[in-house]
Amino acid sequence: MAAFFLSLWVVSHPLAGAVVLAAIVGSFVGVRRASELARCFHDCGGFSFDLGGRVRITIARTDADGAS
């Protein structure tokens, strides 16, 4: 029943419907990627990103006493 009213709203407001759909898909992808990164951080202790092949950002867990 709710899907019927949602489809009527999307038909009557196509631009807003497209924005809402894009936000839902983007949120789903973002949450899924964040959970994968959290699992990797828990298992491996860190991860890194390569930005354009020139810059690498590394996120790593440090020891509790601060020693490297």
Tokens of 15: 């631009």
pLDDT value for 40: 80
pLDDT tens-digit series, residues 22-61: 999 999 999 998 898 888 878 888 878 888 888 988 888 7
Q: Check if the beta carbon of residue 58 is closer than 8 Å to that of residue 46.
A: yes
> pLDDT confidence of 14, banded at 50, 70, 90?
very high
pTM: 0.57
Q: With 80 as the cut, is the pLDDT of residue 65 above it?
A: no
Number of other residues whose CB lies within 10 A of the CB of residue 47: 15
